[in-house]
Amino acid sequence: MTIRPRFVVLSAAVAASVLAAGITMIGTADAASTLGASAAQSGRYFGAAIAAGKLSNSTYTGILNREFNSVTPENEMKWDATEPSQGSFNYSGGDRILSQGQSMGAKVRGHALLWYQQEPGWAQSMSGTALRNAMMNHVTQVATHYKGKIYAWDVVNEAFADGGSGGRRDSNLQRTGNDWIEAAFKAARAADPNAKLCYNDYNTDGVNAKSTGIYNMVKDFKARGVPIDCVGFQSHLGTSIPGDYQSNLQRFAALGVDVQITELDVAQGGNQANIYATVTRACLAVSRCTGITVWGIRDSDSWRTGENPLLFDNSGNKKAAYTSVLNALNAAGPTNPTTSPTTGPTTGPTTPPAGGGGCTASTSLNSWNGGYVATVRVAAGASAVNGWTVSLTLPSGSALTSVWSATNTGTTGAVSFRNVSYNGQIAAGGYTEFGFQGTGTGPAATPACQVG
């Protein structure tokens, strides 16, 4: 790896002559000059929430096209927008955001499949099984419409209560049964196996009762094979930031999920630029923090009227907060975040499995009447693995309906799964995971694993 100097260092004599000549030295030797390009140096994205209705404003689109490499629809993919009457879908606004993102070569975050706010009127008045069915149909239909085009979906938004309970927020969604969140994630996975599936919430900016409640849910989901790939931290911040902001991100990442800053904005006060830089540095310091999204472009675009919480002023000029974010991004070394949604730590158990080299596979099943989701962990022994194939036999009556983070051969009986490009290499003692969904009953026996 070539380490390039990031700052020009001048001797005192040279500096003095430069100053005397009135020449302004640019401090960085190779810094990128936009948010997206700077974030991309470490394999991350820097995005903005955008509104379809503003795309005709040239100041707005000028900044958008120049600075960002990810977009999130501020409202256009929400339930009220996409299914205004039951079973009748309207994707015009969402498609407009998607095509804007595609024209920029940007990652498109989907926001949000299920949220207790911005439910269409018809859903607000529903409950019980009828609502549960409508919820799952909504997830399936919208995720299917955007299949293969969304980088990450906020599958469920803001389902936890504020305050000290650490429990779920009451809503008509919650009243359909505590398993509504995992049911939504399974439906989303089945509809779009390649989108990262996120849980997204606010007031989770440090270790607190609410973030710990979410942490416990994610831990439980991972243990039971419920498909979850990422947690979104909205980060609507005031004039301070908890001291454990980074370590809170890190504890979620250690569960084996990506973390993303999804709706960042910071009240304008003495500390705005510093808080923005602190958030940026925290994301850069957590290898599974894959990117940052700000919730709007100019202050005048913000939902926080009067707080001027964004990176550009009402006229589209860069604020001090913009410069602090850019500098923080450029100060990061050329490292890469862990980009796979399902790749575990490269430092695994201290005692490698018996048998030395090779690989082993183990399956955890989450079953219901008529179907199941299997999560398969592929672990390297004492030697690194470069390519793997897992083989198993499905019980009679079982057929694969979707596979993620692997490619399969066969859908019934004897089937095998081969690594995809990003998870074939496993460090000695490390592991990766892939999954599949099927009808009938899942496989009970331990799968075979072969290297190469």
Smallest gap, in angstroms, from Cβ of residue 2 to ligand G3I? Answer: 42
- Kindly state whether residue 307 participates in binding ligand G3I, applying the rule CB under 6 A: no
Write down the H helix ranges in 287-358: 320-331
Identified binder of ligand G3I from the candidate list 67, 205, 229, 263, rule CB under 6 A: 263
Q: What are phi and psi of 244, to 5 degrees?
A: -105, 25
Identified binder of ligand G3I from the candidate list 74, 83, 205, 299, rule CB under 6 A: 74
| Residue 295 near residue 265, CB atoms below 8 Å | yes
Q: Could you tell me the two tokens for 167?
A: 């429990």
Q: Which is nearer to ligand G3I, 141 or 234 (CB)?
A: 234
Burial readout 124-135 (b: 16 or more C-beta within 10 A, e: otherwise): eebeeeebbebb
Pick the closest to residue 97 from 134, 145, 129 (CA basis): 145
Smallest gap, in angstroms, from Cβ of residue 199 to ligand G3I? Answer: 13
Q: Which is nearer to ligand G3I, 258 or 263 (CB)?
A: 263
The position carrying tokens 């030697």 is 383
Distance CA 406, CA 390 (A): 10
Query: Which residues neighbour 210 within 8 Å (Cβ) at sequence distance 6 or greater?
Result: 160, 161, 162, 163, 166, 201, 203, 204
- Kindly state whether residue 422 participates in binding ligand G3I, applying the rule CB under 6 A: no
Q: Which is nearer to ligand G3I, 287 or 302 (CB)?
A: 302
Q: Could you tell me the two tokens for 296?
A: 């709007």
Smallest gap, in angstroms, from Cβ of residue 331 to ligand G3I? Answer: 29
Smallest gap, in angstroms, from Cβ of residue 128 to ligand G3I? Answer: 25
Q: Which is nearer to ligand G3I, 75 or 343 (CB)?
A: 75
| Residue 292 near residue 260, CB atoms below 8 Å | yes
Q: What is the rounded (10 degree) CA torsion for 345, 348, 353, 357?
A: 70
Q: Which is nearer to ligand G3I, 110 or 344 (CB)?
A: 110
Identified binder of ligand G3I from the candidate list 70, 234, 260, 324, rule CB under 6 A: 234
Distance CA 101, CA 74 (A): 13
Smallest gap, in angstroms, from Cβ of residue 197 to ligand G3I? Answer: 17
**Given the residues 74, 76, 182, 263, the one annotated as active site:** 263
Smallest gap, in angstroms, from Cβ of residue 84 to ligand G3I? Answer: 11
Identified binder of ligand G3I from the candidate list 41, 42, 69, 75, rule CB under 6 A: 75
What character string, x for contact with ligand G3I (CB under 6 A) and - otherwise, covers 12-41? ------------------------------
Report strand pairing: 70-73 vs 45-50: parallel
Q: What are phi and psi of 180, to 5 degrees?
A: -65, -30
Q: Which is nearer to ligand G3I, 22 or 121 (CB)?
A: 121
- Kindly state whether residue 117 participates in binding ligand G3I, applying the rule CB under 6 A: yes
Q: Which is nearer to ligand G3I, 301 or 433 (CB)?
A: 301
Smallest gap, in angstroms, from Cβ of residue 110 to ligand G3I? Answer: 12
Q: Give the gyration radius of the chain's Cα atoms.
A: 23
Q: Which is nearer to ligand G3I, 235 or 248 (CB)?
A: 235
Distance CA 72, CA 90 (A): 17
| Residue 384 near residue 426, CB atoms below 8 Å | yes
Distance CA 32, CA 361 (A): 43
- Catalytic, 158? Answer no
- Kindly state whether residue 118 participates in binding ligand G3I, applying the rule CB under 6 A: yes
| Residue 109 near residue 74, CB atoms below 8 Å | no
What character string, x for contact with ligand G3I (CB under 6 A) and - otherwise, covers 189-228? -------------x--------------------------
- Kindly state whether residue 366 participates in binding ligand G3I, applying the rule CB under 6 A: no
The secondary structure of the chain in percent helix, strand, coil, rounded to multiples of 5, reads 30, 25, 45
Sheet holding 414-418, edge to edge: 407-409, 414-418, 388-393, 448-451
- Kindly state whether residue 303 participates in binding ligand G3I, applying the rule CB under 6 A: yes
The position carrying tokens 């207790």 is 116
What character string, x for contact with ligand G3I (CB under 6 A) and - otherwise, covers 144-173? -------------x----------------
Smallest gap, in angstroms, from Cβ of residue 211 to ligand G3I? Answer: 15
Size of the site for ligand G3I (CB under 6 A): 9
Smallest gap, in angstroms, from Cβ of residue 304 to ligand G3I? Answer: 8
Residues constituting the chain: 452
Pick the closest to residue 75 from 59, 105, 96 (CA basis): 96
SS3 (DSSP) at 204: coil
Q: Which is nearer to ligand G3I, 193 or 296 (CB)?
A: 296
Residue nearest to ligand G3I (CB): 303
Active site residues: 263
Judged by the rule CB under 6 A, the positions of this chain that interact with ligand G3I are 74-75, 117-118, 157, 202, 234, 263, 303
